[in-house]
Chains A and B, each alone.
Chain A
């Protein structure tokens, strides 16, 4: 069976595929859905699993705290830090959150400081 495509249509189809084929996945950050807790935190789609450290009540609490304060002059309550520490308080996550090189949770030999 032959596919009846003129040359222009064929090129248009191939062109649409090229960015996906050529660019590495990491160059296209998959952001979390806007308005969600993940989005407010700035987590990427693949990092949303981090939120599993929180119960759904805690997630709602954190989301509420982070979004209701358009007024950032309000003092930060310790509870907020506590909840954030549950999500981010592992070496691998803290470093990833900083866009630092990937590291394991526990340091191994010669795994300490990073070099430029």
Chain B
């Protein structure tokens, strides 16, 4: 092996400094472990991000690419991670629901097994701990399924649009969305001020790895940034070292008793794929999943929804279909209520926009001519409901992540092939039908779809056996006794829940396991 510019010997080596890696580091360190973290990105402060108005990392290999072959030649899969200290929580919106208990035990539906090798009850204590640690705001009684909930911060108030949706979906299925956009000032962070640009919170209110966990580990855990891990080396069923390169091409070697790959759900897979010593299980790089969603607009609902009024960018969620849509369509949908339609607008509208359509309806509204346009437009506006449904995606064997190329900088470029579920249309029709039944006089319309919302799941999936997965229920890589994968790439099913809360819980659970090792 070529000589190394530096050599590091540690107890627990964590590759990646996203929220999962940082939570693990904190827990393991508290348990007496000596921890080293290796990060390809740069430690950028909040002020630096604000100044440049982006999370763009200065290192060349961190320019986020990334387009990749899609299911058809005309469509590329967009992969746009944040590559700097703190990872994806820097730019996520901060919704933190748990996965439904039923989703841990799902039967296959058009794809591979959706069963997790752990149960919801195994993870619940860690959900509670992670929610406390990350200061999640939520409602501890108004919950999507029976279980223990104890959010440290109160929920944001439901918006007028949320309350309107109670009429459509039932109050029992509309509840505050758990979120790290705080409802109160907490620690050194102000309360969310509802600016609705959460991908780069302008006041550093939204909880991120950097402003929640990093302050407690920065002095106690060795964090080495600007180093891209390129290979994991193994011998006799153990990882013996990992090699990283710096921006000058210098090599840095890490030895540890245990290693944890805690990169995002695509890069975790790529690192394993590019390491010749790592066993290549049949499922490695397969069963990749990303969520899709569809938007529905309801005009003329007859409800009083006051679009634009809400305490934060999303306050309410719809859980009617969260466990499953129907017996014959046992897939999960999670509804997001979007009162923010007005907030992001600079006011311009065209005839095909929602506002333009409201204006057209106002012009066509029946009634005496003495009712001026303003009166009619206000009525239409206040009757508007905007919804987005995240849809569970299937683990399909032919949905893959692989290495397309490795650039001269050392950055691996992924090739992602993903075919989205063919039940999307059926899901949409069922939801539209559900709403139309409850609001027979409203104009309920599908307005848009999005495929690939940047939830990178499944490419190193969990299963008890190496025949079916890459890691076991303890996240240990099959065939290597001291390698763990702490990434949403381990999820065997996608649910429709945003993945971060579950990943945080898995991190703390792994921390307890490794604390004892």
Contact = CB atoms under 8 A, between A and B. Distances in A.
Contacts of A105: 346-347
B364 interface: yes
B348 interface: yes
**Which of B160, B308, B350, B375 has its CB near the most chain A CB atoms (within 10 A)?**
B308
Contacts of A27: none
B309 A90 contact: no
A43 B372 CA distance: 9
Interface stretch (B6-14, B226-234, B337-345, B463-471): B337-345
A31 B408 CA distance: 69
Interface string A82-116: 10110011111111011110000111011111111
Nearest to B360: A76
Interface in A52-108: 66-67, 69-70, 72-76, 78, 80-82, 84-85, 88-95, 97-100, 105-107
Contacts of B365: 72
B373 interface: yes
Interface stretch (B80-88, B193-201, B430-438): B193-201
Contacts of A112: 193-197, 313, 340, 343-344
Interface in A15-45: 39-43
Nearest to A67: B369
B423 interface: no
Contacts of A99: 378
Interface footprint category on A: 35 or more
Given A81-B360, A98-B381, A106-B346, A115 B311 contact: yes
Nearest to A94: B347
Contacts of A110: 193-195, 202-203
Contact of A40 (B157, B308, B360, B372): B372
Contacts of B308: 95, 100, 113-114
**Which of B347, B355, B381 has its CB near the most chain A CB atoms (within 10 A)?**
B347
Contacts of B369: 67, 70
A56 B464 CA distance: 75
A72 B347 CA distance: 26
Interface in B366-392: 366, 369, 372-375, 377-378, 381
B374 A97 contact: yes
B304 to A, nearest CB: 12
A72 B203 CA distance: 47
Contacts of B364: 72-76
A109 B202 contact: yes
Given A41-B373, A110-B202, A114-B308, A90 B346 contact: yes
Nearest to B376: A42
Contacts of A109: 193, 195, 202-203
Interface of B: 157, 160, 193-197, 202-203, 306, 308-313, 339-340, 342-351, 355-356, 359-360, 363-366, 369, 372-375, 377-378, 381
Which 6 A/B pairs are nearest by Cβ-Cβ distance? A42-B374, A42-B372, A113-B194, A91-B347, A110-B193, A112-B196
Interface of A: 39-43, 66-67, 69-70, 72-76, 78, 80-82, 84-85, 88-95, 97-100, 105-107, 109-116
Given A43-B374, A107-B195, 13 more contacts: A42-B375, A72-B365, A73-B364, A81-B349, A84-B373, A94-B349, A97-B377, A100-B308, A105-B346, A113-B309, A113-B311, A113-B312, A113-B343
